[in-house]
């Protein structure tokens, strides 16, 4: 099957097997080189970018659909995945314009509903542990710095914006740091993550004092190599204390 | 039109004019007699309780639908209203059992989809300012203490539970106190609200010290009457400082 046949067959499958009028889209965040990144997919044969998204089988929970769709579209699984908002504006985007920008190789089908609501999910990954793989509709998966995004298809820019606001507001009761940081990290690296999510600089001395006061980090007998004896110690999260602090909403320290 | 005719005609209207397979339900919270309450509706001619809910017109945003449905079902409007979760389990409840418990005066129509997703909203009201009014499907609107709820139709018990968890997690960045308290209140009354939402007792001296430290209250030249000169002063929120504190996620003081 060539791409045209594949996508027509896929759209027919969705119309047969999925809940009509409801999609889901996922903002996958990673942290790399002191920057917060989001994973975008370049649509086949175009220079248009979008979030990975898809549809819900008629007999499947929406949460399960989110896991499946992410896996199908990017090859990633077992991610920390949270539903955060239903995007339900009466007109979310110009459907025919999107169809054109995506260079869909067939005309718009009457089997598609007039309007689609989309359930927004965010996922957090340790950037060092994953290698996204494009599916048949995608030429490329690429991490983009959240402060330097390209133009996005649909209302996906707004979905990223709301996902980021959600991360900010949930910093003290969801395991944001635990899921975004590599296994071992220095305190300044963790501070960069908080600065990236909150989009503001933090005072280093204050950050150090407060995070140590939470007792959620274990100092390792290792240093970040490279800078002789001044190189900083590595830490990892004490998962038990971390969970306890989350349960109390107690990670609010900046 | 009698009730049977009314409800058949209403269901046909929904099937014609609304998005199929998606509903919305709303947990309206109030605070009264030091207790957190939720507004429940008793279904016509039954002793079954549920949240106010309804459907989304095909051309209407989901947020706008939530305002309209609340108004139609309870007579309340201009509430502080927030979407908080999409309930999307593959099987949310036994549909035919619900139909029976509601004593629906017609058989289940094929015009209804197999499955319904529901968008959860919560609303906060100053209990002293509102008088809920039942609609034609409802015998009675009643405030129930959240720690003493009756059996609920559908999965509405779970919707209340998740709404409460959301209130707890959002205490420091949504105007929860501002929207639930009457215009004037004493510090102990405000403490009762925080205790009710968090479902745990708070230390009075600590609460007083922390809330005063936020500079979000204005002390009035009035006392709660009744107990001679020991009666406590009344306060009201300083809306400007309150909004500033919310913007910084700074209401986290318990």
Measured CA to CA, the distance from residue A115 to residue A92 in angstroms comes to 8
Measured CA to CA, the distance from residue A57 to residue A16 in angstroms comes to 9
- pLDDT of the residue at B62: 98
| Domain match, B54 and B84 both | yes
SS3 A47: coil
Nearest CA to A50 out of A124, A130, A155 is that of: A155
**Distances from the Cα of A253 to the Cα of A109, A207, A215, B94, angstroms:** 52, 8, 12, 45
- Work out the pLDDT band at B61, boundaries 50, 70, 90: very high
| Domain match, B165 and B197 both | no
Q: What is the mean pLDDT of residues A105-122?
A: 86
Q: Over 80: is that where the pLDDT of A107 sits?
A: no
CATH number of the domain bearing residue A197 = 1.10.10.10
Which of A110, A142, A170 lies at the terminal end of a domain, its last residue?
A170
| Domain match, A34 and A128 both | yes
Note whether residue A8 is domain-resident. yes
Which of B116, B137, B170 lies at the terminal end of a domain, its last residue?
B170
Measured CA to CA, the distance from residue A243 to residue A250 in angstroms comes to 10
- pLDDT of the residue at B217: 93
> Hey, which of A102-116, A143-157, B223-237 has the most confident mean pLDDT?
A143-157
Which residues, 6+ apart, have CB-to-CB distance to B23 below 8 Å?
Answer: B53, B54, B55, B56, B116, B117, B118, B119
- Work out the pLDDT band at B177, boundaries 50, 70, 90: confident
- Minimum mean pLDDT range among A45-59, B9-23, B98-112: B98-112
Q: Do the Cβ atoms of B173 and A170 come within 8 Å?
A: no
Q: How many CB atoms lie within 10 A of CB A144?
A: 16
| Domain match, B111 and B61 both | yes
- pLDDT of the residue at B110: 74
Task: Give the closest of B58, B88, B249 to A63, CB-based.
Answer: B88
- Give the mutation candidate from A16, A19, A113, A247 for the B interface (greatest B CB count, under 10 A): A19
pLDDT digits (tens, 9 = 90+) for B81-91: 999 999 999 99
- Work out the pLDDT band at A109, boundaries 50, 70, 90: confident
CATH number of the domain bearing residue B9 = 3.90.79.10
- Work out the pLDDT band at A218, boundaries 50, 70, 90: very high
pLDDT digits (tens, 9 = 90+) for A169-206: 888 778 888 899 999 999 999 999 999 998 889 999 99
Chain B positions with Cβ closer than 8 Å to A? 19-22, 56, 58-65, 83, 85-86, 88-90, 114-115, 117, 119, 168-170, 172-173, 249, 252
Burial class of residue A93 in the structure, from the number of CB atoms within 10 Å of its CB (0-12 exposed, 13-18 middle, 19+ buried): middle
Note whether residue A254 is domain-resident. no
| Domain match, B22 and B139 both | yes
Q: Over 90: is that where the pLDDT of B185 sits?
A: yes
Q: Cite the DSSP H helix spans in A137-175.
A: 156-170
What percent of chain A is helix, strand and coil (3-state, nearest 5)?
Answer: 35, 25, 35
Nearest CA to A93 out of A155, A31, A22, A152 is that of: A155
pLDDT digits (tens, 9 = 90+) for A6-28: 999 999 999 999 999 999 999 99
Note whether residue B193 is domain-resident. yes
- pLDDT of the residue at B184: 93
Note whether residue A252 is domain-resident. no
Which of B170, B197, B232 lies at the terminal end of a domain, its last residue?
B170
- Judge contact between A49 and A152, C-beta under 8 A: yes
Q: How many CB atoms lie within 10 A of CB A102?
A: 18
| Domain match, A108 and A58 both | yes
| Domain match, B36 and B113 both | yes
- pLDDT of the residue at A228: 58
Measured CA to CA, the distance from residue A191 to residue A168 in angstroms comes to 14
Q: What is the mean pLDDT of residues B149-170?
A: 95
- pLDDT of the residue at B249: 61
- pLDDT of the residue at B254: 45
Q: Do the Cβ atoms of A88 and B63 come within 8 Å?
A: yes
Q: Over 80: is that where the pLDDT of B99 sits?
A: yes
Q: What is the mean pLDDT of residues B232-243?
A: 91
Q: Over 90: is that where the pLDDT of A127 sits?
A: no
Chain B CB contacts of A60 under 8 Å are: 90
pLDDT digits (tens, 9 = 90+) for A63-74: 999 999 999 999
Q: Over 80: is that where the pLDDT of A229 sits?
A: no
Nearest CA to B150 out of B53, B47, B70 is that of: B47
Note whether residue B92 is domain-resident. yes
Residue A61 in tokens: 């929970």
Measured CA to CA, the distance from residue A79 to residue A126 in angstroms comes to 9
**Is the Cα torsion angle A194, A198, A200, A206 positive or negative in sign?**
negative
- pLDDT of the residue at A162: 97
pLDDT digits (tens, 9 = 90+) for B188-209: 999 999 999 988 899 999 999 9
- Work out the pLDDT band at B226, boundaries 50, 70, 90: low
Note whether residue A205 is domain-resident. yes
Q: Over 90: is that where the pLDDT of A227 sits?
A: no
Residue B32 in tokens: 């009264």
| Domain match, B113 and B216 both | no
- pLDDT of the residue at A244: 84
| Domain match, A60 and A15 both | yes
Task: Give the closest of B60, B90, B114 to A61, CB-based.
Answer: B90
- pLDDT of the residue at B251: 59
Which residues, 6+ apart, have CB-to-CB distance to A227 below 8 Å?
Answer: none
Q: Over 90: is that where the pLDDT of B116 sits?
A: yes
Percent of chain B with pLDDT over 90: 70
Q: How far is A56 from chain B (nearest CA, A)?
A: 10
Note whether residue A87 is domain-resident. yes
Q: Which DSSP string corresponds to chain B? A: --HHHHHHHHHHHHHHHEEEEEEEEEEEEEEETTEEEEEEEEETTSS-EE--EEEEETTS-HHHHHHHHHHHHHS--S-EEEEEEEE--S--S-HHHHHHHTT-SSPPPTTS-S--EEEEEEEE--GGG------TTEEEEEEEETTS---BSTTHHHHHHHHHHHHHHHTTTS-HHHHHS-SSB-HHHHHHHHHHHHTS---HHHHHHHHHHTT-EEEEEEE-TTSGGGPPEEEEE-HHHHHHHHHTT-----
SS3 A10: helix
Residue whose tokens read 């979000």? B216
Note whether residue A16 is domain-resident. yes
- Judge contact between A90 and A114, C-beta under 8 A: no
Domain count, chain A: 2
- pLDDT of the residue at B214: 86
- Minimum mean pLDDT range among A51-60, B31-40, B44-53, B228-237: B228-237
| Domain match, B12 and B127 both | yes
Domain that holds residue A204: 182-247
Half-sphere exposure of A136 (CA within 13 A, CB side): 11
| Domain match, A10 and A130 both | yes
- pLDDT of the residue at B225: 78
| Domain match, B145 and B232 both | no
């Amino acid at each position: 099957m060539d791409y045209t046949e594949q996508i027509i067959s896929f759209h027919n499958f969705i119309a047969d097997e999925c809940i009509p009028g409801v999609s889901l889209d996922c903002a996958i965040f990673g942290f790399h080189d002191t920057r917060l990144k989001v994973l975008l997919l370049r649509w086949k044969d175009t220079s248009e970018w979008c979030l990975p998204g898809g549809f819900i089988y008629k007999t499947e929970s929406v949460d399960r659909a989110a896991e499946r769709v992410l896996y199908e579209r990017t090859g990633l699984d077992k991610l920390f995945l949270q539903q955060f908002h239903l995007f339900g504006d009466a007109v979310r985007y110009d459907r025919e314009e999107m169809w054109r920008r995506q260079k869909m190789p067939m005309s718009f089908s009457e089997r598609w509903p007039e309007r689609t609501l989309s359930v927004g999910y965010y996922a957090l990954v340790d950037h060092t542990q994953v290698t996204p793989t494009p599916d048949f509709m995608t030429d490329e998966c690429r991490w983009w710095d959240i402060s330097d995004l390209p133009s996005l298809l649909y209302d996906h820019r707004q979905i990223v914006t709301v996902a980021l606001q959600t991360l900010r507001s949930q910093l003290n009761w969801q395991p944001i740091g635990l899921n975004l940081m590599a296994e071992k990290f220095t305190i300044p690296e963790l501070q960069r993550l908080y600065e990236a999510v909150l989009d503001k600089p933090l005072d280093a001395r204050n950050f150090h004092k407060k995070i140590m006061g939470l007792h959620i980090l274990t100092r390792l007998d290792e240093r970040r190599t490279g800078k002789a004896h001044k190189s900083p110690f590595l830490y990892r999260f004490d998962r038990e204390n971390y969970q306890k602090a989350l349960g109390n909403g107690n990670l609010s320290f900046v």
